[in-house]
Amino acid sequence: PLFHKFKSAQAISAAMQKPVIIKGAEMGTLAGAIYEDDDLKNCHEIGHSLVANGTVADVAWMVTDSLSTDSDFQPSGSSFLPSFNEAQSLNLMERPFMTRTITIRGFDASDDTVDRERLLNTICTANPVSLDGKPNVLFHTGLLQTAKAIKAKVERYIDWAPPSQKIILNGHSIGGSLSVMILLLLAHERGPKFVRNRIVRVYSHGSPPVAVYRPSSSSPQPKGKTNEDEAKKKKESNDSSSSPIPSVIIPRADDKKTKGNILSPTLLQQQDKEEATNTKSKSSSDGRSSKK
């Protein structure tokens, strides 16, 4: 009920409770742990081992390893191999494998080890910029440069991980935004196949949008439609919107006809009937006068 008016809000089915709620809560805890002084202890409490951490472009990051299963990311009962029976599918869903999580911190006003004013200026540098001259997708300029700097530092931890180890990108606030941008940068530089094979999930907690898609004006028209049809439809819409709007004259409350009463549909109908009767009587009187 709280989010029922949001078009993007969806009910979480029983089969998705573990990958959405439980795993999401784990990643949320990890995204909060990076704000704490003792992040090592907080990581251990949720089953993560700290691999590396640091600060780039006034933004803190950390890399952790943990065990996951397919059921952490897939609906319960789903099978990747349809030839297997249900029991075998469930066993596969609980097969453990290593995951590496790269968590990026959001803006922390209490951290005096970074230049907070410079980071704020970076966040406020929001003029749109395209990537490699492609105008269809525009990015937040300041955070794009920050994402490139963080990616250059943490990308080695992706390459050093074995091929079977999946990667998770995680972050809160602008940390989540930077995680999304790093995903887009990896897809741009290494291709979507690499991202599908290595990046299992991106968790973004309360993050502002940092990119916008702008369709090209030269993009192909949908089948069955032409530019002339679109122009004609637009012209008809403009013509209909420019048609005169009927005006309604409301008499004042001290008008003799209203006698100080508040106007109502019933009162207006009575006034119309009286005016029609008076007009008819006057026409009849004028007709008799002309005969004389």
Residue 245 scores a pLDDT above 70: no
Q: Residue 230: what pLDDT?
A: 58
Q: How confident is the model at residue 217 (pLDDT cuts 50, 70, 90)?
A: low
The closest of 50, 20, 33, 39 to 203, measured between CA atoms, is: 20
Q: How confident is the model at residue 107 (pLDDT cuts 50, 70, 90)?
A: very high
Mean pLDDT of the chain: 79
Q: What is the pLDDT of residues 31-59, one digit of tens each?
A: 999 999 887 888 999 999 999 999 999 99
Q: How confident is the model at residue 268 (pLDDT cuts 50, 70, 90)?
A: low
> By three-state DSSP, how is residue 93 classified?
helix
Alpha-carbon distance values, 99 to 10, 47, 105, 166, 198 (Å):
27, 11, 19, 5, 10
Q: What is the pLDDT of residues 219-229, one digit of tens each?
A: 444 444 555 55
User: Residue 168 in contact with residue 102, Cβ under 8 Å?
Assistant: yes
Higher-confidence position of 235 and 179: 179
- When pLDDT is averaged across residues 187-191 and rounded to a whole number, the result is 94
| CA 258/CA 157 separation, integer angstroms | 82
Question: In the beta sheet, which residues pair with residue 202?
Answer: 169
- When pLDDT is averaged across residues 71-75 and rounded to a whole number, the result is 85
| CA 255/CA 280 separation, integer angstroms | 23
| CA 292/CA 275 separation, integer angstroms | 26
What is the strand order of the sheet 166-172 is part of? 49-56, 59-69, 96-104, 166-172, 199-205
Percent of the chain scoring above 70 in pLDDT: 69
Contacts (Cβ under 8 Å, ≥6 apart) of 226: none
User: CB burial class (10 A; 0-12, 13-18, 19+) of residue 80?
Assistant: exposed
Q: What is the pLDDT of residues 155-180, one digit of tens each?
A: 999 999 999 999 999 999 999 999 99
Strands 211-213 and 134-140: antiparallel
